[in-house]
Each structure stands twice: as C-alpha cells, then as structure tokens.
C-alpha cells in the first residue's frame, strides 16, 4: 500500500513537471494524484472509517488554505478592477528593468512580513502586470517575487504559515525570530538580485490600458478601494492574533466588508458600469484551475503524512545523517518538493521542547529553511502555485531561470545564519 502511494506521488509529480510535453492540465494531474494516493491508502487499511476521518481532518486544514487563497485573489482582482494598483504604479517612474526589479523585490520582501507570502505574491504579481507588457520579463519578475515573498515571510511570525505554526506551538518567539532571521532572509533575496543585476538590462515597456473594463471609477473611488482593500488585507494577521481564529476567517471577513463597500459605492450606477467593478465579476476572473491544482497537491501530500511516511523519512534522516544543520538544510530542499506544512509538523512531532527549548537553534533554522527552500521549485510554496496560475509559468522554465537563483540564495542565507549563530551567538 505504501509503495503504491509513493509510486503514485512520484508519477504524478513527474507528470506535473512534464505538463507541457504531455499536454495535460496540471490541475487534472494533481487531482488524479491526490485521489489515487488516498484510494491506495484506504484499499490497504484495516479500519477504513479511520482513514475517512483522517481525510476529513486533512480536508478541513486544506480548505482553510484554499478559502484564504480564493479570498485574497478576489480582493486583489477587485482592487485591480478599480485600477487601484495605479496608486503604486504611477509612483514608480523608472523604466530601467534593473532598478524596477530591485524596487519590486524589496517592496515584496517587507510587505510579505506584514501580510504573508501568499497574499503578497498575488498583490505584487498584479502590480507587475501593470508595469510590464512583455510576458517574458513579467514571468522573470514574478519568479523573483516568489523568492522575495518567501524570504520576507520567513523572518516574521505572521509572514509564513510554517513560521506561524512554530510561533503558535511555542517553538519560537516573535521578537527573537525577527532578530535572528532578518539578516539570513535578506541575504537569501539579495544574492539572487545581485546575480541578476549583471544580466537584466534595458527599458521596460508598460502595457496599454484596456478600455473595455476601465473608466468607470473616479480617483476618489480608486483610492478608497485600494487603501481600504490593503488595510483589510493587513488586518487579517491582526484578526488572527486577537481572535485566534484561522487566517481564512480573516480574509473572508475582509472580502465581505469589501463586497458591501463596493455595493454601496456603485449602487446608483448602471449595470454596464457596475458589473465590471463587482465582486461577482472578480470571482469570475480568479484562477480556479490553480486552486484545484493546489487542492490536488495538498491532498496527495496529506496521504504521505497520514501514512507516517514523512515522519519516518524525517527520523531516517536523523539516524543516517546525524548533523542537525545538514538535516534542516535537507528539509529546506525537500520543502521544494513536498509542502512545507506537513514537513514542519513532522519535525515538531519528532523533536520535543524539553530537548530543544523555545528559540533554540533547531527551531529557528527550521523556520528559515522551510520558509525559503520552497522557492527552488515553482510548486514548492503556495505563493509559487498562485503566481504560476496567474502568469501560466511552466515548471521547467522556472527551474531553469529562477530555481538555481533561489537555491544559491537559500544556501547563502543558511550560511549566514550558521555563521551568525557560531561567531556572534545570535
């Protein structure tokens, strides 16, 4: 049974990687992989009710991520429909691609720490659409946004789901994780940026405005929706901290408020003017196949978690490798293949707080590696999956153009953390 699950997962993963050559939709492949993994699991189980209960438990966690993604995408589409991102793009006057890349990446890095890497990646990818007409340039910028968003999320307790897990679990504290991981995370971004700066030259050409769905908003409405939408997105982690409810509840609250706001603002307009600015239209424009792709991937990974294959793999690394730093770096690379949430959950179950107390080297290094290692592959993180759907980025294109940059940045940041800990005791 376990062999079948592993084979199904590997075959499905390879099929996703070779999506363009197989001419099969990655969402369909991911859904098939997830269902086959769980079918193999329940076929070899003695207690099938327990397997169904386990699947239901996982689906509850997965649906939270999917609802969060849908809510964030809808809010971003609504801001875009009101030309809200013009507030940012009109203030970015440079057309130099190199300078533009630095501006976008640095803004993403810091915004990710305040929001989270998924929301930030969706927002900044939408901004880039307004700044670059050439699709190849846009894809490259979006790839760098993935690196910047994940690096920025790693050093904040609310910036990445795995860092949040460790924070809530008591493995790390907010002040200490910011102090310890800010520099390694910054290096994780700066190294790829410096490397790219030698090759990224030329002038950026902005896309022409689409007259079909614009011209229906006033500057006051545009500013109101942009700043109101951004404030609601920023309030999501605050809502979580105050109420202790999951993040998707915060994003659904934000969407509901924005829905009411737009309905009140545009209620006197004609249907032809109101519809392009409505939430209904925004919901039609979000990338549902990418959400289904993420669903399939997470269902497949949850099968590996439920069969304890991930936990056993973590224990095997602990026995065979032994060196703590090497193990954590391996977890970082593995998070590019398997979702980092179950990986971190497995390590939290494998190492106890008595042996490794709060703010110990192990937990902080796991927060960095699990948060940034997923950038090496486009499907390694939720932020990567989201922008993959938005810009239709190919798996191998990302691996050739961005993956190696993410890898050297990841290793450079890991090296900085280890040196920082060894020589400065920080």
Contact residues for 302 (Cβ-Cβ < 8 A; gap 6+): 55, 58, 62, 342
**pLDDT averages per 10-residue partition of the chain, 426 residues:** 87 80 82 92 88 90 81 84 80 85 92 82 86 88 93 86 77 87 95 89 76 64 87 81 83 92 86 84 83 84 83 77 85 83 72 82 91 88 81 87 94 94 71
Task: Give the whole-angstrom CA distance, residue 332 versus residue 343.
Answer: 9
- The reported pLDDT for the residue numbered 111 is 86
How many of the other CB atoms lie within 10 Å of CB of 388?
24
Which secondary-structure segment (H or E) carries 262? Answer: helix 247-265
Does the predicted model carry a pTM greater than 0.95?
no
Calpha distance 217→221 (Å, rounded) = 6
Cross-strand pairs, 96: 203
Q: The tokens 């590019």 sit on which residue?
A: 336
Q: How far apart are CA 283 and CA 381, in angstroms?
A: 23
Residue 52: helix, strand or coil by DSSP? helix
Q: Residue 42, exposed/middle/buried by CB under 10 A (0-12, 13-18, 19+)?
A: middle
How far from 126 is each of 69, 86, 88, 336, 391, CA to CA, in Å? Answer: 14, 11, 11, 24, 10
The pLDDT assigned to 416 comes to: 94
Q: In angstroms, what CA-CA distances link 217 with 130, 234, 262, 266?
A: 17, 24, 11, 9
Tallying the residues shown for the chain, one arrives at: 426
Task: Report the pLDDT value the prediction gives residue 213, as an integer from 0 to 100.
Answer: 47
- Structural contact between residues 207 and 132, judged by C-beta atoms closer than 8 angstroms: yes
* Cβ-contact 216, 276 below 8 angstroms: yes
Q: Can you give the pLDDT at residue 369?
A: 93
Check residue 214 and report its DSSP letter: -
> What does the DSSP 8-state code read for residue 156?
S
pLDDT in the model for residue 212: 47
Structure tokens at 89: 């793009």
297: nearest Cα among 107, 24, 58? 58
DSSP code of residue 160 = S
**How high is the pLDDT of residue 315?**
75
| pLDDT (0 to 100) of residue 24 | 78
Ramachandran quadrant class, 304 (left: phi over 0; alpha: psi -120 to 50; beta: rest): alpha
């Amino acid at each position: 049974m376990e062999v079948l699950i592993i084979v199904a997962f590997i075959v499905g993963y390879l099929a996703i990687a070779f999506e363009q050559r197989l001419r099969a939709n990655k969402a369909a492949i991911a859904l098939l992989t997830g269902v086959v993994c769980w079918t193999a699991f329940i076929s070899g189980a003695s207690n099938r009710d327990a397997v169904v209960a386990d699947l239901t438990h996982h689906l509850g966690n997965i649906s939270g991520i999917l609802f969060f993604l849908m809510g964030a995408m809808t809010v971003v589409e609504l801001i875009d429909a009101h030309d809200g991102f013009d507030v940012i793009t009109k203030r970015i006057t440079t057309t130099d691609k190199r300078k533009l890349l630095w501006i976008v990446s640095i803004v993403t890095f810091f915004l990710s720490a305040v929001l989270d890497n998924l929301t930030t990646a969706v927002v900044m990818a939408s901004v880039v659409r307004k700044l670059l007409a050439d699709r190849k340039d846009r894809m490259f910028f979006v790839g760098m946004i993935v690196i910047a968003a994940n690096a920025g999320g790693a050093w904040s307790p609310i910036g990445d789901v795995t860092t949040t897990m460790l924070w809530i679990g008591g493995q790390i504290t907010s002040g200490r994780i910011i102090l310890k991981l800010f520099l390694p995370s910054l290096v994780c971004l700066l190294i790829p940026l410096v490397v790219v700066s030698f090759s990224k030259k030329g002038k950026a050409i902005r896309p022409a405005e689409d007259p079909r769905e614009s011209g229906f908003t006033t500057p006051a409405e545009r500013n109101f929706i942009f700043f109101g939408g951004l404030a609601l997105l920023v309030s999501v982690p605050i809502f979580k901290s105050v109420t202790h409810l999951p993040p998707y509840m915060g994003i659904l609250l934000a969407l509901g408020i924005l829905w009411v706001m737009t309905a009140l603002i545009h209620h006197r307009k004609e249907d032809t003017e109101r519809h392009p600015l409505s939430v209904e239209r925004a919901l039609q424009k979000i990338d549902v196949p990418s959400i289904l792709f993420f669903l399939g991937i997470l269902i497949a990974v949850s099968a590996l978690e439920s069969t304890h294959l991930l936990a056993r793999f973590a224990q095997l690394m602990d026995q065979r490798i032994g060196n703590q730093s090497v193990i954590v770096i391996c977890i970082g690379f593995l998070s590019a293949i398997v979702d980092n949430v179950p990986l971190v959950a497995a390590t939290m179950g494998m190492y106890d707080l008595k042996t490794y107390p709060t703010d110990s080297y192990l937990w902080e290094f796991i927060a960095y590696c699990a948060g940034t290692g997923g950038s090496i592959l486009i499907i390694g993180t939720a932020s990567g999956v989201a922008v993959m759907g938005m810009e239709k980025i190919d798996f191998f294109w990302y691996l050739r153009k961005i993956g190696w940059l993410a890898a050297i940045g990841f290793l450079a940041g890991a090296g900085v953390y280890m040196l920082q800990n060894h020589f400065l005791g920080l």
